[in-house]
């Protein structure tokens, strides 16, 4: 799948009703989100609108990578709507704690950054409550929040051009692989004399 196959008519540039996200109807995208993520996550709904915006700014046929600036929810929108995934190494999560994404040309790093702009929220109270966690998840009106995001569209987003630093371009090589002296399993030699699990970073309780 390339950038040409995931493009689609977009709406909501100035707060108009979002009829489509990339090539999917809004309802189709909701079903995709629920199937992939397990729920109709507001972060993925708004994230889909952000990806749609970013793709509209990438020239036709350009091969691109992605950066996501937060771990929860938002990376899944990139994986749903673009060829960029954790598995193929085209999606990097740099956890800055900001609700923002960037799509950029693979070699030179020129691209666009899309972010949720609080100065543009205006009277959209549900988005504000969600963004600043002014209400607990159980107190939020999920249907109203998603509807508010759908009506707001791109109007609550900011966009600027960026150039990604060279150290973040391309895939990160694992380097040489060797066998751990303790568990015997293969691991990247650069991690030290034993694998990171045997070095104390294992998440498992040993029996």
Host domain of residue 196: 174-207
The pLDDT value given to residue 13 = 42
Q: Does a structural domain hold residue 92?
A: yes
Can you tell me the mean pLDDT for 46-51?
97
Residues 59 and 104: their CA atoms lie apart, in Å, by: 10
The pLDDT value given to residue 16 = 53
- Do 180 and 157 sit in the same domain of this protein? no
Read off the pLDDT band of 123 (50, 70, 90): confident
Q: Does a structural domain hold residue 10?
A: no
The pLDDT value given to residue 9 = 35
175/50: higher pLDDT: 50
- Do 85 and 181 sit in the same domain of this protein? no
pLDDT tens digit sequence for 73-119? 999 999 999 999 999 999 999 999 999 999 999 999 999 999 999 99
The pLDDT value given to residue 167 = 86
Read off the pLDDT band of 3 (50, 70, 90): very low
- Do 75 and 158 sit in the same domain of this protein? yes
- Do 104 and 206 sit in the same domain of this protein? no
Can you tell me the mean pLDDT for 142-167?
94
- Report the CATH number at residue 183: 3.30.60.80
- Report the CATH number at residue 66: 3.30.1330.130
Residues 26 and 35: their CA atoms lie apart, in Å, by: 14
Tokens linked to 90: 């085209």
CB atoms within 10 A of CB 3: 17
pLDDT for 173 beyond 80: no
Q: Is the Cα dihedral 22, 28, 30, 31 positive or negative?
A: negative
- Do 159 and 189 sit in the same domain of this protein? no
- Do 195 and 138 sit in the same domain of this protein? no
The pLDDT value given to residue 39 = 87
């Amino acid at each position: 799948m390339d950038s040409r196959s995931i493009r689609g008519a977009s709406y909501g540039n100035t707060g108009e009703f979002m009829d489509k996200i990339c090539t999917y109807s809004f309802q189709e995208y909701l079903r995709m989100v629920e199937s992939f993520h397990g729920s109709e996550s507001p972060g993925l709904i708004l994230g889909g609108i952000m990806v749609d915006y970013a793709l509209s700014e990438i020239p036709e046929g350009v091969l691109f990578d992605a950066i996501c600036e937060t771990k929860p929810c938002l990376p899944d929108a990139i994986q749903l709507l673009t060829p960029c995934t954790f598995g193929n190494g085209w999606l990097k999560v740099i956890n800055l704690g900001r609700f923002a994404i960037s799509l950029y040309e693979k070699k030179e790093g020129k691209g666009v950054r899309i972010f949720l702009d609080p100065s543009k929220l205006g009277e959209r109270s549900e988005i504000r409550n969600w963004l600043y966690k002014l209400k607990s998840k159980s107190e939020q009106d999920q249907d109203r929040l998603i509807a508010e995001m759908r009506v707001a569209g791109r109007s609550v987003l900011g966009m600027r051009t960026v150039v990604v630093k060279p150290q973040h371009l391309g895939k990160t090589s694992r380097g040489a692989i060797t066998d751990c002296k303790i568990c015997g399993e293969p691991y990247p030699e650069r991690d030290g004399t034993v694998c990171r699990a045997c070095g104390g970073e294992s998440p498992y309780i040993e029996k």
